[in-house]
Structure 1
Amino acid sequence: MQTSRADVADMIYFLTIARHRSFSRAAVELGVSASALSHALKNLETRLGVRLLNRTTKSVTLTAAGDVLAQSVHKPFEAIDSALESLNRFRDTPSGRIRINAAVEAANLLLAPVMPAFMDRYPDVEIDVVASNLMVDVTDAGFDAGIRYGGTVPEDMVARRLSADIRWVIAASPAYLERYGTPAHPDDLSRHRCISSRLGDNRIYRWELARDGEALQIAVPGSFTVNQAETGLIAVLGGAGLMYFPEPLVASYVKDGRLRLVLTEWSPLEDGFHIYYSSRRQVPTGLRLLIDFIQEVRPLGL
């Protein structure tokens, strides 16, 4: 059977669907509609004369034939991607598309502030950021890299530091503190309104406080739980209660008086943001340039 151009394009679609086990997630990565992907796969299966995927309303799985095909063509297509990427060194202006899965705070505090200048310097490099606190396998999910706090970076990945260590603080609005008082010791938190955080693995975060070698993990009372600090920040600014934050997220509000820090002697310094990627794949030029740029600009110190 002779391979057509349509086969090559549809094979890329097939590999992306196979990696995600999802038409909708593959469609997001490829920038097409899920219905277009479904149509392309049906055409590919018709031309090949075999079913490649089992589809239900809840899942997408590979058939035996689909598994054989995915295993057979994965490395050749990866080699093509690598060869095309190597052409960047011959271009006057680097180009390419980089997909990054970043913790929400990293996306807002680290990536967004540098984007205007980065886009001016490298106008043909496209950065696609998915901001999420859920821990994902960035390679399996089709990302070039992930950005997380250093302590949560997977051990089997190459990691590079993008920021200085970050201090964690407890903040509240002046109105809340005037109404309920200011805690003088971590034990006082049990008598306050606190906004709780849900971690990427669905656990409720225990506030980690430290002073002079003494470390505490406190399960604070909370009638409001959020999975993004930015959501809690809005509530805290409105007087909802106390919340534990990375200091850069609240620094401007503390400076203008809209928030106050409490228990500052218990504020620990924790690992800063790191970017991580697979050691088994060539580092895309755009990703290398972005890492170098952030380390040059240092939006959160380094």
Structure 2
Amino acid sequence: MKQNFTVRQGALDGVEAFLSVAQHRSFRKAAAALGVTPSAISQAVRALEARIGAALFIRTTRSVSLSEAGERFHARAKPAFEELIAASHGARDLGQRPAGLLRLTVPQAVVPILLEPLIASFCQVYPEIEVEIAASADLVDIAAEGFDAGIRFGQFIAADMVAVRLTPPFPFVVVGSPEYLRRQGRPERIDDLRRHACLRMRRSNASIAPWSFVDNNKSIEAIVSGPLIAHDFPTILGAAAEDMGLAQVPEPIAASLVKAGKLVRVLEPFAPMVPGMFLYYPSRHQMMPKLRAFVDHIKRRKP
């Protein structure tokens, strides 16, 4: 059963004053150290004692010393307060300079062709930033999963996200190996795919993605079949290069294999264009220096 509770306001009020008095053994010196009046220090300590329900100091006209309750409170309050101060300094430090852990969620396919050169140069420029890359095809909630930013196709990025373009628009192309095309023939029309082995992608929502085409400015979705279903483009691309069938993939990830002659583009007149790849993150107002540095680095490296 869920319990209701409230955070008590002022739970730490007076602790810094108490610690200062305990250190200096003087309300006057503690006040000077904190830049306040002795009266303010005295009031803060009295309020703290009232909340605790015990006297923390033994006061005389000549000296101030800790009571037994004060000694016990001091033993635990001092290291805890110092940890709070250190935590505050650490958080402020990350808010003022590019440092810390930068977590990115990205599709596996873009890591070698897009991210590796970018990350290598970024880490050289910003040695105090650690970069963690979670390669996944899933569309994750970057805020809920603790990521600073993500990289995705533009059409999958929510409208309330800030997006930074990484690539120009590019087509989704159908490719096959020369050996496969020699055996099965080259498709010339979308309907020709009925007699071809088509390697397919399963989406993060468990559905199998249809193949998309454009014919006379009309969008067409083709339901295809074949021997392999995978969860990422590199697996499908590798299978196509091994003569298993045709694959529909983003043009940039197939470019090197096409250039090497291991894959051949087909059905090019029907290839649909997509907006390209983007870095995205929730809000400019919440941007930490480590992410700002990464965004600026991307913009500097654009051709």
TM-score range (shorter-chain normalised) is 0.5 to 0.7
* Equivalent residue, structure 2, for 1:284: 288
Q: 1:195 aligns with which of 185, 196, 199?
A: 199
* Equivalent residue, structure 1, for 2:153: 149
CA contact (8 A) 1:97 1:125 kept: yes
Q: 1:83 aligns with which of 86, 92, 98?
A: 92
How many residue pairs get matched?
A: 221
Distance 1:281 1:203, change over 3 A: farther
* Equivalent residue, structure 1, for 2:188: 184
Runs of 5+ unmatched residues, structure 2: 1-10, 13-86
* Equivalent residue, structure 2, for 1:271: 275
Partners of 1:201 and 1:107 in 2: how far apart?
22
Deviation at 1:262, TM superposition (A): 0.3
- Identity in percent: 34
Deviation at 1:82, TM superposition (A): 5.6
Runs of 4+ in 1 over 3 A off after TM superposition: 78-82
Partners of 1:238 and 1:245 in 2: how far apart?
15
Partners of 2:299 and 2:273 in 1: how far apart?
20
TM-score for both structures, normalised by structure 1: 0.68
Q: Which amino acid aligns with 2:277?
A: F
> Aligned-residue CA RMSD in angstroms?
2.4
* Cα distance per residue 1:171-219 (max 9 Å; x no partner): 0000000010000100000100010011122221111111331221001
Runs of 5+ unmatched residues, structure 1: 3-77, 89-93
* Equivalent residue, structure 2, for 1:294: 298
Deviation at 1:79, TM superposition (A): 8.2
Distance 1:224 1:140, change over 3 A: same
* Cα distance per residue 1:35-65 (max 9 Å; x no partner): xxxxxxxxxxxxxxxxxxxxxxxxxxxxxxx
Deviation at 1:297, TM superposition (A): 2.1
* Equivalent residue, structure 1, for 2:245: 241
Write the mapping of 1:62-141 to structure 2, written as runs, cut at 5 A: 83-88=92-97, 94-141=98-145
* Equivalent residue, structure 2, for 1:173: 177
CA contact (8 A) 1:196 1:204 kept: yes
Distance 1:221 1:81, change over 3 A: farther
Partners of 2:196 and 2:90 in 1: how far apart?
55
Partners of 2:112 and 2:223 in 1: how far apart?
27
Q: Secondary structure at the match of 1:201?
A: coil
Distance 1:86 1:260, change over 3 A: same
TM-score for both structures, normalised by structure 2: 0.67
CA contact (8 A) 2:107 2:152 kept: yes
Partners of 2:143 and 2:90 in 1: how far apart?
15
Partners of 2:173 and 2:90 in 1: how far apart?
44
Partners of 1:80 and 1:243 in 2: how far apart?
52
Deviation at 1:251, TM superposition (A): 0.5
* Cα distance per residue 1:115-150 (max 9 Å; x no partner): 222222222221101011111111011111111111
* Equivalent residue, structure 1, for 2:229: 225
CA contact (8 A) 2:166 2:279 kept: yes
